[in-house]
Structure formats: structure tokens, C-alpha cells
Structure 1
């Protein structure tokens, strides 16, 4: 059976505009839930779009009928990052709720873009020039509320001018990277090395890989007692990332030294 990481590779090797965001996000969830039936949950997204004709219908379906909203009480629960658990529990974090909104909207024939605000994530509907906050129950955000949300999320004071540069429309690759970054932070904090391993393996399949992310994979393997494998992985990545080769080679040597 193909592993979740291998399937994720197949999905994200395509140009960002051709990536099936919903399937890729569900494949992230399948790494944490190996028995997850990804095609069945894709059908759930399909069914949610049936009968939705416009933005008002999308908001009604997801936030009134389904009752999706932000999970402020257990914000850092990893389940808030997994689409099937968000749909089951009707609770999530900004990015997972936004992905559901985007994917149901796409199936209904609506363009819904992800917007990677600093410290928050919302969606934009170009046809109506409207921003929505899925974490806030699908609230429509006027310019004043957008600025208020930005300042609340970042702590920025009045000396920081709010403008369009803080509202970038992001690609599927960038959204998946951000979802994995959230999980990386959670699993690092909890010391869940085996979960951190698959998160980093997926992240390393996406663009703009950092030396810290590569080194993190080595450390995640080492934390599971797999020092030789960790060193080998670092050496393999050093061969492919010449600008980071020296640091990665040094990290690999440090892992091998721990074998003695």
C-alpha cells in the first residue's frame, strides 16, 4: 500500500496551480490516521457543495447548516489541522477551516483564494471582492475589521501601517507548507518524534526547504534511536542542497559521533 508520504509526493510534485489542495490536505491527515479513507472524505467535500450556487449559499452551508467555527478552547490540538476531524467535530483552526471553505467553494464553481495574513488565515472571493474569516464563523470582513484582525493577530501597533502587502493570496504549496509548519511546532513541543518525522518528510517535498527543516528530520530520527539513518538522510540532502551542504554534513557527523 502506498504510504501517505509517497502519495503526498505524487500530489505536490505538480505545479502549484494543479495541486488538488483538498486531497493533499487529507493526505496529511492520513499520515496521522493510517486507516483514513481519503476518497470517502473527498466525497464529503463533494456533497457539501451540492446545491450551493453563490457565496451566500456557501456561507449558509458551512457556517450555519454545518456549524463550522474556530476552536478557541483547544486551539493547539493537532486534530484541528486534520480535515476529516474538523468536519467531524465542526471545529478547527483558521487554515483548516479556510481549506474546507476553498474546496467546497471550488466544487460549487466559486473561486475562493487563501490569504496568508501574518498570524491568521482568511479567504478572499474575487467575484464579490469579499474577505471571509472562517475561524470567525464565516464573518464578512470589511477593511476596518481586516485591520483590527491583523493587529490582534500580530500585536502590531499604530506605527505599523496596514496595507495589501499583509494580505497575500497564497498557493496550494504555501498553504500545505503552513499546515505542516503548524504540526511541526505542535509535535516538537510534545516530543512526538515519530509524528514529527512524517511531518518533516512531507515538508521536505515542498518548495523553499530550509537547513533547519532538513536538520530537524535528522534529529527526529535520532530521537527514535535511528542515529545512522538520521545521519544518512542529512548526507543525502547535503548532496542535493549545495548551499547548505557544509552545515548538513556537520550535523550528520554530530549524529554519527553519538553512536560512539
Structure 2
């Protein structure tokens, strides 16, 4: 089973486990690796990190002092920051992957945590409390005013802020956000092969549609796989409404024109 198929099967389950799903996602970036073995290695490291942790303060100390996990502010858009095995190995990540580490190590230690998908800066919260942590900044506790300041630094001073931006983020939404980060990185790098696996995984999760399908076909075309891209779009067109079907069919014709 290839990495995309493994990920698709996993996230199709009623309640996909965040740790396994995030590790399966990362396997798309290592097609010649052994996904099953890599996943088990990542799970074992998360297990190890949880040993002896008994409190939230202890968890923060273990991860950000003893183990020296940190936010990679120097090279934020390095794709390895969005791939959990690399984060576990390098001890560097971005807010959302550091949050996954914190949530999953906490779960193993009996500390219930949840992701908070504040736009521009992912946070972690102790379930049932108002305790928010900035794991990109070493697990620093945040007040509501400090959350707002981080939000405005990313979204602008006039952007409206409120409690609706601090709701819990479910597992599939976390995975979508991780994939969207990688999508933006690989698009900017014009890395069509990487963009392909990211988009295939994105299409396995809620909220994907026409833009992702068109971009996937374009990524195939950028690899000179014009027939593959056209065939994909034609297959999507078969089950689409008339307006979408026309757009998909026209895009397929554009790809096939490269064969002339």
C-alpha cells in the first residue's frame, strides 16, 4: 500500500488517531521509505517522551527544556517543519506540528489537550480549562490578550478577534491545515511531484473540491503526465454538475493538447 492509500484508509475511519495520521501524512514525502516502520518508530518516540510525565508543567518541561523542542523561526518554510518524523528527529517545527507532539505526548501521560486553530498561529489548550499554550514559543502560557496580539500580528490590526477563533480543532481539520501548509510550500517551490501527493491526501479529507482537483491535474501536467491529468479530470467530470463538468472537461482538453 502506498503512502496516499495508507493515509486515505486511516482518515476514512470514524475517529482517526492523530499520531498515526500525522505520521502517515509525512510518509508521502518519503516514497522510498517503509511507511509502516517509520510510523512505528514515531509512535515509539512519542511513547518515550511521555515516560515519567505526570502534569502539564512537567510535560512542558520535558518537551521544551529537557528535550529542547523549539519553533523553527529561522527557516519557517522548510517542509520538514510540517513532517512529524522530522520534527521528532530534529526537535524543530512550526506551531501545528509542535502542537501534535504536545497533544500526543500529553495523551500518553494522561493529560488531555486539544489543538486550537487560531488563524495564523496554532495553539494548545488543556481540555476543560482556559489554559492556552504557545508551543512555538516553548510552551509559554497565554492570556486572551496575548492570543489576540499574536492573531493581529498575523492577520493585521483591523481583523476582528473573538472567542470563536479559539475553539477546539478536530483531528481531520488539523490534518487539513498541515497539508495546506505543505501545499503552499511546494507550490512556491514548483515541486510538482510533492504537490501531487499532498493534493491526493487533501482530497481524502473534507472540504476539498474543484480547486484541488484542477491543481492536482496541473501538477500531473507539470510532470509531463498530461494523459494522467486529463483522465483524472474526465473521471471527476462524470459525476459533476453541468457547470463544473464543463470546466473540468475544458481543463482536460487543455492537458491533452500538449500531446499534439
Q: Does 1:251 align with 2:248?
A: no
- 1:178 matched residue in structure 2: 177
Map 1:180-219 to 2 at 5 A: 180-219=179-218
What does residue 23 of structure 1 align with? 20
The equivalent of 1:223 in structure 2 is: 222
Cα displacement string for residues 177-233 of structure 1 (whole angstroms, at most 9, x for unaligned residues): 111111111111111111111111110111111311110110010001100100111
**TM-score, with normalisation over the residues of structure 1?**
0.93
**Aligned counterpart, 1:74:** 75
Inter-partner Cα distance in structure 1 for 2:246 and 2:137:
46
Superimposed CA distance per residue, residues 88-107 of structure 1 (whole angstroms, 9 cap, x where no aligned partner) = 21111111111111111111
Dislocated runs of 4+, deviation >6 Å: none
Of 125-134 and 210-219, more deviation after overlay is shown by 125-134
- Please name the residue that 1:7 is paired with: 6
Distance 1:167 1:236 in 2: 39
Matched, 1:138 2:133: no
What is the RMSD of the two structures over their aligned residues, measured on CA atoms? 1.4
TM-score scaled by length of structure 2: 0.93
Aligned length: 255
In 2, Cα distance between equivalents of 1:119 and 1:76: 14
Answering whether residue 233 of structure 2 is matched by residue 234 of structure 1, we say yes
Which ranges of structure 1 fall in alignment gaps of 5 or more residues?
none
